[in-house]
A and B are shown apart, each in its own frame.
Chain A
Amino acid sequence: MSWLGAFSQSLALLTAVLLAPLLTGWVNACRARLQNKKPPSLLQPYRLLHKLFHKDSVMAEHASSLYRSAPYVIFACMLMACAIVPTLSTDLPLSPAADGIALVGLFALARVFMSLAAMDVGTAFGSLGARREMLVGFLAEPALLMVLFCASMITRSTSLTEIVETLAHRDLAIYPSLLLAGVAFTMVSLAENARVPVDNPDTHLELTMIHEALILEYSARHLALLEWAASLKLFVYSGIGLALFFPWGVAEANAPLALLLALPVLVFKLAIGGALMALIETLNAKMRVFRVPEFLGTAFLMAVIGLLVNVLLGVG
């Protein structure tokens, strides 16, 4: 492991941890502006986290150790995901430990712990949230995997750093399969990050909520960790999207100067991506929970068609 590798690895992690709440704040601000509201400060998520960490945690009297440890597990899973997705640099020493399939497995692990923790207290909302979360997950996971496979077929690798390097060095060409995969990925990331057509992060309405129902019983530092983990998830998803569809500007091994440039490029790309997400959220209405399988099923099928287009056109 080179020193530069260790440096870019820790820089990537640190950037993710520090920047993730800002991204959430940015998306929320954009959405407020698009809806003709006065937006909260961009730093609002940091203030929220700070406030939550300071409070005393209140926990249900019969909550088990699984419930207590789940926020740490989920946060660590998201950190691990940040460590292997190349956002700033492809020189990541941790990257060989987990490829794209393992990344999906990592999300699944976090999801399972989230659902189990929600069921632990045994309230009606908790198990409702767990059930809905798993319903979203069982279609979103394979769809995400298929999106990654579309890129893998082109680059002949499932390693994320390898995918980014190969894609960034190709001539600018539009792959039909990546186009389909891009649409599928957008749909999946809306669902996975509890965004509007699937879930509404703003409300506590029992008919609609998924993510909020899961974390309903958590408070203080545990809630802060979960909120932060949710921000990290949004950051990782944006990172995957940028890595697959806009891989330019990511630094490669032995290029310390490019690493300096990579950060502003990343911030720029994330700002545009976040604004687009806010736009999609504003233009759409929340759908009924039972339309969600259709929505995600469409995403899954699109990704599979993308995969088939790859085979048909003989790419790779």
Chain B
Amino acid sequence: MPPLNHLPNWVHLDWVLVVVAAWLLIGVLGILALRRFRLVAVLLFPLGACCSVLLLGVALSAVFADPQVAVLPLGLPQLPFHVRLDSLSAFFLVLIGGVSAGVSVFAAGYFRQGEGTAPGLICLEYHVFLASIAMVVLADDAYVFMVVWETMAFSSFFLVMANHRIPEIRQSGFIYMLVAHIGALGILMCFGLLQANTGDYSFANMRAQHLTPFWGSIAFLLALFGFGAKAGILPLHVWLPEAHPAAPSPFSALMSGVMLKIALYGILRVGFDLLQTRIWWWGVVLMVVGLATALLGVVFSTVQVDMKRLLAYSSIENIGLICAGMGLSLLFSSYGMKALAALALTAALYHMLSHAFFKSLLFCSTGAVMHATGERSLGKLGGLMRTMPWLAWATLVGTLACAGLPPFGGFIAEWLLLQSFLFTTGLPSAFLDMLVPVMAALVALIAALSGYTMVKYFGVIFLGQPREEKLAQAHDAGPWERLGMAWLVAGCVLLGLFPNQVIALLDPATRILVGAGLAHGAADSAWLLVPVSMERASYAPALFLLGILAMMGLVFVLVRRVYHGRLRRAPPWDCGFPWQTARMQDTAEGFGQPIRQVFEPLFRMRRHLPSAFDAQPSYQVVVEDPLWYWLYLPLARLVERTSKLIGKLQQGRIAVYLMYSFVTLIVVLLVVTR
């Protein structure tokens, strides 16, 4: 520790590195207190949260600072770690710090004794994971990037496997690992192309290279593939609905809220920063793939019956929408339309931030529900609003934000995205001009469908009558859990009410990436969000909320004053039907049924219907992702067949192996001596 009088000389980057080091230290302390549950829960996790808050503070000021670089004496000899903190990295550090602070506090109350992996080990994995994602956004050469990227993949793999005694969880972990590594391969090859045979893998060198359109396109597509695998872009989304339910809830929250955004950071870094050329069809590809992902995600999320799977598919949807925004921005940027590119990119970044908060909040709420009831299946929940009112109201905020409703953050992101889609006439190609409004229509449809999903999520879990007896004994979330969730709720609300302040935060990052920003735009008021000009569009969420609240209050007072407030409680009326039971409510399957019918071709469905003569009639429906059958299983079979062919080389006799070496040697000699 340097003497205190040196402190003012520290730049932001140093503070970020201190936080990373502190996280690693906390992880090591966790190992020392391996089975001391209390110590880990009430000391180490809150300490980690304090570090997160520090990171948030540092990053908030670093956003407006100039880029800072440093070389760390780690890594291989001659190959030190280069790190760099610019506004884009700082924005993502804000996201990491903000979300992880809430989730760490929640985690302090979440992990219970005697569940799966030892608490100290989880503490280590958790904090190594946090440290590695912070390092990913700092990385300034391909070497350190890949090292921390893989650290992130491994630490998250171990966290997914926290309850590794359950076979399904091991299987989910395997799929996660597989997709992560296939993706990493893509990223590695992308970096290989970006350095353009110079042998220098620093990002500064990559920025200086001008690739030909062909190789540039290949590099972009590889990056899209590699980072898309981590982000859950179609068709590489299959690991998400498997891994999210398997992981403990705080960790699902971090994975969905933070890690997916880090993958998108990779696309932004490569596509907007490292690659100097931009070709219009890259944007179209990103946009189309993004919207396809979003549509598939939201349609599948409406039919899920497991609450964490439902949220995982909803994450896929949000990632798709963000990609659509990024694609649109890339498209504009390739035609030099900087202002519109900045608008679309701001929408995407805004969505990342708000999704990080509300999805973490929702995953934390699933954790609290699971602790209180032991149930993850929507079909066995219900009526929790009565027994867990605090949790229910907190979740309602997340639900409304996730449904993209005003006045929360999700709506602002969608609003900005629709604005950028709407005012696009003037693209040089008529085809694109036609394409963009269709995309806007799809965005609107997806946003409306997410409302459906969220009504199902909240309604089936928290409203209605309890579907099981034991739910009546459910207890509300504990103090740590409440504190963590309150932080996330505050994030959702602030993001929704203060768009101008948030956009000022995004502005330096968009200036780096597309050369223009939205801040200091046409608005002269701090409350009014005006992206282009006052005549075009404006939105003031604070005023909006205030208006609704004022009218609610006024109506309430008037009704009480002019009439009365008498209330009588009675059994529900239900059209006079007296034998109402909890089983007569819509099940989770039932609520999703209309969507299943409307979008039938998208699903692969197996249904077992009872016949009229069954003594014990049963009904079962299994909805699956057809991509497994169209893509993954054939691929798996192909790999198996190929490996069998290669396996024929393996005879197990040393003479044969010696002959292989001999033949190889001769062939090599022939080639070399020529």
A: residues with CB less than 8 A from B are 53-54, 56-62, 64-66, 72-73, 75-77, 79-80, 83, 94, 96-99, 101-102, 105-106, 108-109, 111-112, 115-116, 119-128, 130-132, 134-135, 137-139, 141-142, 145-146, 149, 152-153, 156-159, 162, 204, 206, 216-217, 221, 225, 290, 293, 300, 303-304, 307-308, 310-312, 314, 316
Contacts and interface: CB of A to CB of B under 8 A. Distances in A.
A8 to B, nearest CB: 16
B540 to A, nearest CB: 4
A83 B556 CA distance: 18
A29 to B, nearest CB: 27
B566 interface: yes
B571 interface: yes
A157 B586 contact: no
22 contacts: A66-B463, A72-B555, A102-B406, A102-B544, A112-B400, A116-B455, A116-B459, A121-B572, A122-B464, A122-B582, A124-B580, A127-B459, A127-B464, A127-B591, A128-B586, A137-B451, A141-B447, A153-B422, A153-B437, A156-B536, A216-B573, A316-B425
A123 B576 CA distance: 11
Contact of B464 (A53, A77, A120): A120
A119 B464 contact: yes
Given A59-B570, A109-B405, A311-B437, 18 more contacts: A53-B563, A59-B567, A64-B385, A75-B552, A79-B555, A106-B406, A121-B572, A124-B574, A124-B580, A127-B459, A137-B452, A141-B447, A142-B447, A153-B422, A221-B559, A221-B563, A307-B441, A314-B425
A77 B444 CA distance: 20
B208 interface: no
Contact of B441 (A122, A146, A159): A146
A83 to B, nearest CB: 7
A54 B563 contact: yes
Contact of A101 (B418, B449, B570): B418
B454 interface: yes
Contact of A80 (B434, B548, B591): B548
Nearest to A100: B537
Contact of A122 (B452, B465, B536): B465
A311 B406 contact: no
B433 A73 contact: no
| Nearest 10 A/B pairs, CB to CB | A122-B464, A142-B444, A122-B465, A127-B586, A119-B459, A60-B572, A76-B551, A97-B543, A141-B448, A97-B540
B590 A131 contact: yes
A120 B385 contact: yes
A131 B460 CA distance: 11
Nearest to A135: B594
A49 to B, nearest CB: 10
A304 B448 contact: no
B405 A108 contact: yes
A75 B555 contact: yes
A93 B577 CA distance: 49
Contact of A159 (B396, B449, B537): B537
A116 B585 CA distance: 13
Contacts of B447: 141-142
Interface string B102-138: 0000000000000000000000000000000000000
A57 B405 CA distance: 30
B534 interface: yes
Contact of B463 (A122, A142, A149): A122
Nearest to A297: B598
B571 to A, nearest CB: 6
B64 interface: no
Given A57-B568, A158-B419, A304-B441, A76 B452 contact: no
B422 A149 contact: yes
B547 A311 contact: no
A99 B537 contact: yes
Contact of A73 (B538, B552, B567): B552
Contacts of A314: 425
Given A56-B567, A127-B585, A112 B454 contact: yes
B555 A131 contact: no
Contacts of B403: 108, 112
Contacts of B590: 127, 131
A158 B422 contact: yes
A142 B445 contact: yes
A224 B347 CA distance: 40
B383 interface: yes
A129 to B, nearest CB: 10
B438 A308 contact: yes
Interface string B530-564: 00001111111001100111011001100100110
B544 A112 contact: no
A303 B556 CA distance: 38
A121 B464 contact: yes
B422 A80 contact: no
Nearest to A131: B591
A131 B585 CA distance: 11
A142 B544 contact: no
A64 B406 contact: no
A137 B403 CA distance: 13
Nearest to A307: B437
B487 interface: no
B594 A76 contact: no
Interface string B582-593: 101110001101
Given A99-B537, A112-B454, A120 B411 contact: no
A108 B448 contact: yes
Contacts of A112: 400, 403, 405, 451, 454-455
A151 B584 CA distance: 45
A121 to B, nearest CB: 5
Given A97-B540, A138-B449, A217-B574, A130 B459 contact: yes
Contact of A123 (B404, B536, B572, B597): B572
B658 interface: no
A191 B415 CA distance: 24
A245 B385 CA distance: 44
Contacts of B400: 109, 112
A157 B386 contact: no
Contacts of B434: 308, 311-312
A311 B425 contact: yes
Contact of B547 (A58, A64, A94, A108): A94
Contacts of A58: 567-570, 573
B389 interface: yes
Contacts of B552: 72-73, 75-76
B595 to A, nearest CB: 8
A290 B547 CA distance: 37
A131 B543 CA distance: 31
A300 B594 contact: no
Contacts of B448: 108, 137-139, 141-142
Nearest to A212: B575
A53 B559 contact: yes
B6 to A, nearest CB: 50
Given A57-B566, A217-B573, A159 B459 contact: no
B455 A142 contact: no
Given A102-B415, A112-B451, A66 B563 contact: no
A123 B574 contact: yes
Contacts of A96: 528, 534, 538, 540
A67 B288 CA distance: 41
B574 A216 contact: yes
Given A56-B566, A134-B452, A312-B434, A105 B406 contact: yes
A120 B465 CA distance: 8
A132 B573 CA distance: 20
Contacts of A105: 404-406, 411, 415
Contacts of A75: 551-552, 555
B337 interface: no
A59 B573 CA distance: 9
Given A60-B571, A127-B591, A142-B445, A157 B563 contact: no
Nearest to A120: B463
